[in-house]
């Protein structure tokens, strides 16, 4: 008994000493979740992959209302989309059936009243009257069944778009377009929260608990803590969990000044592939429409493919009205562009905004943020455990 008390006293003393004297380790940023997405159906038509998020794209989950409806186009990113034409056709077909059922139901309702009167005057048999009642309820059953089928088909349409389940980025793309037959299509990696792996022996790792202060030191000197209640022992040491933040550029956090932030910009490109003739085209998701026609938001003074200049992190935008020709094409494998019959003031390699907010104003300033978070998988950081 005395020997056991002595051992416990030594362990407790060691733990106390550890918590009083901080120790520095090297840490590696690793994701807490890496998920692959697939798609398909159990129907004769599997579906056709028509939309995949771009490799390296920052993604975030949608904002939902109390009924689970997505609030707007900017609230969340679609990571995988199936062509909806077949499923929309199914909705249209059953919706037409519902309208036909309504007409037939009204006819049957009139007939049953007529037969009831004829039956009472012995103009028709009881059997004929009962058959009419049966037809009436069969029509009602057909009506309710077609309504349910329409709702189910609409559910298939809604299921064609897979939204990001967490804050993260697209780390791999396996299939860009093709039949959806439950193969792996895209890989997404979680960025918030994020893990910090610190390698050490098990005995040392077990001495670290939620009561010990932990400080993460980034290469630029920025420091932050961890989720103290959450850490995990593993074969290599200990994994800390910490909050992660989107950045404007490098290690610069996005300012809280009310200015809209965009990450997804697209250039104005040449719609023609193997022709020297230039026909300008813009990304489909950059096209907006009001009472005056189609328009895009152009970044003033911003161009891609310029060897001497990058894109500013803050710039003004301009509303440019355009006229699509009606032709569309898949470009870069991930995106669909619309040819312009009239490009307005747009020029080749100009920058346009994707999924613009409805309340943007001409001449308004916006932020353009890198496809980065403060901590990215593979980053090396310093981790200080214990009091300094």
pLDDT on residue 135: 85
pTM (whole model) above 0.85: no
pLDDT per position as a tens digit, 295-307: 999 999 999 999 9
Cβ count within 10 A of residue 11: 12
- SS3 (DSSP) at 252: strand
What is residue 340's three-state secondary structure? strand
pLDDT in tens, 7-63: 444 444 444 444 446 899 999 999 999 999 998 888 778 888 988 999 999 999 988
Q: Tens digits of per-residue pLDDT, 126-139?
A: 888 888 888 888 88
Strand-pairing partners, residue 373, are 246
pLDDT at 116: 84
Q: In angstroms, how far is CA 274 from the centroid of its own chain?
A: 34
Pairing verdict, β 380-385 and 23-30: antiparallel
pLDDT at 18: 47
Q: Which helix (H) or strand (E) segment is 329 a member of?
A: strand 314-331
| Cα–Cα distance list, 225 to 180, 193, 296, 383 (Å) | 43, 12, 42, 10
Closest to 217 measured CA to CA, from 92, 380, 55, 15: 380
Q: What are the residues facing 168 on neighbouring strands?
A: 59, 190
Hey, where are the domains in the chain?
Answer: 86-158, 261-368
In this prediction, residue 21 carries a pLDDT of: 66
- What is the pLDDT at residue 44? 79
Task: For residue 194, give the H/E element and its range.
Answer: strand 194-199
**Which class would CATH give 86-158?**
mainly alpha
Mean pLDDT, each 10-residue run in order, the chain (388 residues): 44 46 92 94 84 93 83 77 91 94 87 85 86 86 93 91 94 91 94 98 94 95 92 96 96 93 94 90 96 97 95 97 95 86 97 91 96 97 92
């Amino acid at each position: 008994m005395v020997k056991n008390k002595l051992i416990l006293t030594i362990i407790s003393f060691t733990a106390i000493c550890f918590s009083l004297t901080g120790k520095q380790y090297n840490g590696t940023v690793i994701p807490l979740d890496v998920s692959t997405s697939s798609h398909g159906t159990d129907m004769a038509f599997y579906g056709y992959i028509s939309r995949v998020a771009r490799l390296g794209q920052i993604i975030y989950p949608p904002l939902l209302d109390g009924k689970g409806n997505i609030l707007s186009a900017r609230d969340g990113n679609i990571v995988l989309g199936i062509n909806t034409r077949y499923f929309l056709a199914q909705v249209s077909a059953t919706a037409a059936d519902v309208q036909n059922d309504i007409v037939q139901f009204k006819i049957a309702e009139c007939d049953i009243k007529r037969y009831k009167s004829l039956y009472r005057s012995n103009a028709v048999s009881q059997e004929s009257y009962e058959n009419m009642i049966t037809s009436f309820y069969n029509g009602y059953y057909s009506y309710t069944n077609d309504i349910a089928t329409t709702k189910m088909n609409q559910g298939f349409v809604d299921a064609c778009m897979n939204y990001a389940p967490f804050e993260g980025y697209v780390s791999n793309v396996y299939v860009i377009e093709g039949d959806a037959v439950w193969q792996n299509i895209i890989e997404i990696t979680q960025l918030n929260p994020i893990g910090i792996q610190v390698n050490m022996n098990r005995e040392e790792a077990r001495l670290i608990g939620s009561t010990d202060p932990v400080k993460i030191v980034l290469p630029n000197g920025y420091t932050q803590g961890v989720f103290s209640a959450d850490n995990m022992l593993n074969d290599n040491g200990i994994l800390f969990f910490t909050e992660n933040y989107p950045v404007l550029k490098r290690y610069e956090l996005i300012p809280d000044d009310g200015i809209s932030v965009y990450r997804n910009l697209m250039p104005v490109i040449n719609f023609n592939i193997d022709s020297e003739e230039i026909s300008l085209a813009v990304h489909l998701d950059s096209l907006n429409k009001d009472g005056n026609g189609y328009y895009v938001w152009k970044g003033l003074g911003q161009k891609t493919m310029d060897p001497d200049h990058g894109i500013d992190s803050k710039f003004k935008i301009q509303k440019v009205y355009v006229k699509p020709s009606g032709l569309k094409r898949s470009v870069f494998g991930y995106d669909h562009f619309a040819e312009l019959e009239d490009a307005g003031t747009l020029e080749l390699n100009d920058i346009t905004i994707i999924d613009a907010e409805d309340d943007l104003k001409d001449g308004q300033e916006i932020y353009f943020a890198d496809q980065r978070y403060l901590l990215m998988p593979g980053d090396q950081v310093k981790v200080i455990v214990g009091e300094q």
